[in-house]
Amino acid sequence: MNIHEYQARELFEKFGVASSKGKVASTPEEAEQVAAAIGTAKIVVKAQIHAGGRGKGTFVNGFKGGVHLVHTPAEAREVASKMLGQALVTNQTGPEGRVVNKVLVAEAVDISRELYFAILVDRATSAPMIIASTEGGMDIETVAEHTPEKILNISVDPLLGIQPYQTRKIAAALGLRGPLMTQASKLFTALYRTFIEADCSMVEINPLVVTPEGRLLALDAKFNFDDNALYRQPAIVAMRDTAEEDPREVAASEFNLNYIGLDGNIACLVNGAGLAMATMDIIQYSGGKPANFLDVGGGATKDQVSAAFKIILSDKNVEGILVNIFGGIMDCDVIAHGIIEAAREVGLKLPLVVRLEGNNVEAGKKTLSESGLTIIGASTLADAAQKIVAAVKAA
Ligand code: ADP
Ligand code: MG
């Protein structure tokens, strides 16, 4: 799960991470009021979407830049009115962009240096990893490609937590000395605490800035959270913005289905993540392209199967469906009833290949064959993949 920058700032406040003053606004009038309340000579108005690269982005209405410097509250209102309700296209949004529903209005600070600081979970070491660089304000991927020597990686022992010698080492590598080193140690420690206590999988501050007066501030924030820990993070869950998510994935999460939309034409409905991956592979191997990853879980109900079908079919690119179920915990006959109910309800016209195996499989096959629906049966995984690819080509 992701959150907006203005929400990340609430976490900054809670954990004591220094940032500039700011508040979110949903209307141009509100943006003007917030700007007046902040009262500084320079203000930034920042589009709130779950994607980076906003500064260099362009709105579909032609307005340039999702991060704007203004000098008066009236100007803040003007800029907000051009952003709100408009889609902003950045190098991370895709060509259709993301609609801006809120803007952050914040104190604009003078910047001497822009740095980069992130914490993420490193799978290789199974530990939190800190990534820091003197090259802030640009994509870290670009820095990694062209000047990898400018990136510092520090692994943190999850049992010990971040150590003072580590924060000093990072500060020194970033050229932060004297009072700035003290601020840096405090900020890095506070961010590490946020990362652990909020169950983040990533925290990225880009840029972390040094001002001419010698302040160290986190000016942008990107947070990712571990979905498996959300059950114990109600305050984070409350920050979820489903308008930013793929509507199919939102619908899937309501039914506890693991769905990820892809861009192929053959939808698949599978129980178990590993089997779903294998099914996608074999569709590809047989000359097709998977339209999605969908794991209905080990003990799916008829309602879940039915919901899964509707989500799959809401994708206009889908030209055929492959159902691949191994009945371990699951009863194949339950799945068969779910398939039939869903197919009838949505008036399914697309080719449908079903491969069932395992618990109560004979009853399941019988249910399908007696349904009167045109369902292509398959015995093995390879057989199923070849049949759906052929059926889509023939259709
Ligand atoms: P994005 O990464 O999506 O482009 P940022 O929040 O990083 O958005 O903003 C882009 C740039 O705008 C920053 O690198 C920084 O130079 C400038 N900026 C952002 N916030 C402020 C601020 N409060 N004061 C001054 N400059 C800012
Ligand atoms: Mg940024």
When pLDDT is averaged across residues 273-299 and rounded to a whole number, the result is 93
Residue 360: left if φ>0, alpha if ψ -120 to 50, beta else—which one?
left
The pLDDT of residue 391 is: 96
Class of domain 113-237: alpha beta
Is the predicted pLDDT of residue 392 greater than 80, yes or no? yes
The pLDDT of residue 206 is: 96
| pTM of structure | 0.82
Count the Cβ atoms, other than its own, within 10 Å of residue 205.
Answer: 26
340 lines ligand 1 (CB under 6 A): no
Cα(289) to centroid of ligand 1, in Å? 39
How do residues 213-254 score in pLDDT, each as one tens digit? 999 999 999 999 999 999 999 999 999 999 898 888 888 888
Is the predicted pLDDT of residue 299 greater than 80, yes or no? no
Is the predicted pLDDT of residue 257 greater than 80, yes or no? yes
Q: Which of 206, 211, 181 is nearest to 112 (CA)?
A: 211
pLDDT band, very low/low/confident/very high, at 345 (cuts 50, 70, 90)? confident
For the range 182-185, what are the long-range contacts, defined as Cβ-Cβ under 8 Å and sequence gap of 24 or more?
A: 183/18, 183/215, 183/216, 184/216
CATH code that applies to domain 246-394: 3.40.50.261
The pLDDT of residue 298 is: 74
Residue closest via CA to ligand 1's atom 19 equals 219
The pLDDT of residue 283 is: 97
**What residues pack around ion ligand 2 (CB closer than 5 A)?**
206, 220
Gap between the Cα atoms of 235 and 116, Å rounded: 27
The pLDDT of residue 97 is: 93
297 lines ligand 1 (CB under 6 A): no
* Tokens standing for residue 165: 């010698």
% pLDDT > 70, the chain = 100
The pLDDT of residue 331 is: 86
Is the predicted pLDDT of residue 335 greater than 90, yes or no? no
Which numbered ligand comes closest to the C-alpha of 111? Answer: 1
Q: Which of 269, 299, 290 is nearest to 389 (CA)?
A: 290
Helix axes 247-254, 302-313, angle to 10 degrees: 180
52 lines ligand 1 (CB under 6 A): yes
Q: Could you give the residue ranges of the DSSP H alpha helices within 347-376?
A: 361-369
358 lines ligand 1 (CB under 6 A): no
53 lines ligand 1 (CB under 6 A): yes
Asked, as a colleague might, if the bond just before 207 is cis with ω within 30 of 0, I would say: yes
> Helix, strand or coil for residue 284?
helix
* Tokens standing for residue 97: 């962009």
The pLDDT of residue 388 is: 97
The pLDDT of residue 210 is: 98
Gap between the Cα atoms of 217 and 208, Å rounded: 6
Contact between residue 238 and residue 22 where contact means Cβ atoms under 8 Å apart? no
Which amino acid appears at position 190 of this protein?
A
Is the predicted pLDDT of residue 300 greater than 80, yes or no? no
% pLDDT > 90, the chain = 82
Cα(205) to centroid of ligand 2, in Å? 7
pLDDT band, very low/low/confident/very high, at 383 (cuts 50, 70, 90)? very high
Contact between residue 270 and residue 324 where contact means Cβ atoms under 8 Å apart? yes
List, by residue number, the catalytic residues.
116, 204
Which numbered ligand comes closest to the C-alpha of 206? Answer: 2
The pLDDT of residue 35 is: 97
* Tokens standing for residue 70: 């203004």
How do residues 81-130 score in pLDDT, each as one tens digit? 999 999 999 999 988 899 999 999 999 999 999 999 999 999 999 999 99
Q: Would 113-237 and 246-394 be classified into the same CATH topology? A: no
Residue closest via CA to ligand 1's atom 7 equals 220
Q: Where are the domains of the chain?
A: 21-107, 113-237, 246-394
* Homologous superfamily (CATH) for 21-107: ATP-grasp fold, A domain (3.30.1490.20)
20 lines ligand 1 (CB under 6 A): yes
How do residues 145-199 score in pLDDT, each as one tens digit? 999 999 999 999 999 999 999 999 999 999 999 999 999 999 999 999 999 999 9
Cα(33) to centroid of ligand 1, in Å? 21
Cα(232) to centroid of ligand 1, in Å? 32
Residue closest via CA to ligand 1's atom 10 equals 55
> Helix, strand or coil for residue 347?
coil
Cα(88) to centroid of ligand 2, in Å? 15
Helix axes 179-197, 5-15, angle to 10 degrees: 110
9 lines ligand 1 (CB under 6 A): no
Contact between residue 367 and residue 340 where contact means Cβ atoms under 8 Å apart? yes
How do residues 54-75 score in pLDDT, each as one tens digit? 999 999 999 999 999 999 999 9
The pLDDT of residue 306 is: 85
Gap between the Cα atoms of 21 and 34, Å rounded: 10
pLDDT band, very low/low/confident/very high, at 10 (cuts 50, 70, 90)? very high
- The dihedral over CA atoms of 80, 55, 135, 185, expressed in degrees to the nearest 10, equals 20
